[in-house]
Chain A
C-alpha cells in the first residue's frame, strides 16, 4: 500500500521540510516525490534540495498520512513521517537525489521499477529527509510530498 506524506518548512538553508522514518520491521520504499515552493520568488536564483539518508530523525511535527487507495484508510502505517523539523535529522553519506532549480519550478521524480525505488533500511530511527540546502530566490515554504510504499 502507498501512503502520501506532505511536509513544509519556511524556506531557509539547511532546513528539513519532510523526514520519512523507518522501523525495525519493514523496509519502506519511496516511489515518488514532489518538491516545490509556495511563495512568489524574490529572484530567479536556484534553490537546492537534498534528499538524503538519515541515521537520526531529529524533531518534527508528526504527519498524518494520506492514502491513494481508500481501502487502506483503516490501516495504521508502520512507517513515520515528520514535517517542519525543529531539530535537524542526522544525515549520512551522499544525497540519494538532488534537485537544483528555479524556485518557480516543480520537481517530480517517480519510478516504475521495483529495483529503482529509494529503499529505507528496516532500522528504527533511520530514514530519508528532504533538506533545503540553498534557499536562492525562494519565498514562502518549501513543500515536499513523498509517496511511500510499505
Chain B
C-alpha cells in the first residue's frame, strides 16, 4: 500500500489484482529498494536522504553524485591515454 510522500513505487500486476510497494533509491549507491509497510528508513545525516542498509552499515557519506564524477573522470583519463572509448 502506498503511503503519503512516497518517493516511488512498484506495481505488480497479478492475476489476483495489483500489488503495490513503496520504493526508495539509496542516495549513496543509487539502487532501488522496496520498502515494507511501516518500515523505518535509514537516513544519511549529511545528505538527509534515505540510504540502504548496506550503505548505512558502511557508515560513510559518499553521495552518488561523487561516484558518478569518479566514473566520468576515470573514463576521460582512460580516453586521454587512448585506452578506453
Min Cβ gap B71→A in Å is: 4
Task: Report the bound CA distance from A105 to B76 in whole Å.
Answer: 42
Count A-B contacts at CB 8 Å. Answer: 80
Min Cβ gap A136→B in Å is: 15
Contact of A116 among B14, B23, B75, B84 (CB under 8 A): B23
* Chain A residues within 8 Å of chain B by Cβ, number: 30
Chief secondary structure at chain B's binding surface: mixed
Interface string of A93-134 (1 = CB under 8 A from B): 011110001101111111111011111011111100000000
User: In the complex, what residues of A have CB within 8 A of residue B27's CB?
Assistant: 115
Chain A interface residues (CB < 8 Å from chain B): 24, 27, 51, 94-97, 101-102, 104-113, 115-119, 121-126
Instruction: Find out whether the CB atom of B32 lies under 8 angstroms from the CB atom of A118.
Output: yes
User: In the complex, what residues of B have CB within 8 A of residue A121's CB?
Assistant: 68, 71-72, 75
- Is B6 close to A, CB under 8 A? yes
* Chain B residues within 8 Å of chain A by Cβ, number: 27
- Is B42 close to A, CB under 8 A? no
Instruction: Find out whether the CB atom of B8 lies under 8 angstroms from the CB atom of A104.
Output: no
With contact pairs A94-B31, A96-B32, A97-B32 given, residues A124 and B75 touching in the complex (Cβ less than 8 Å): yes
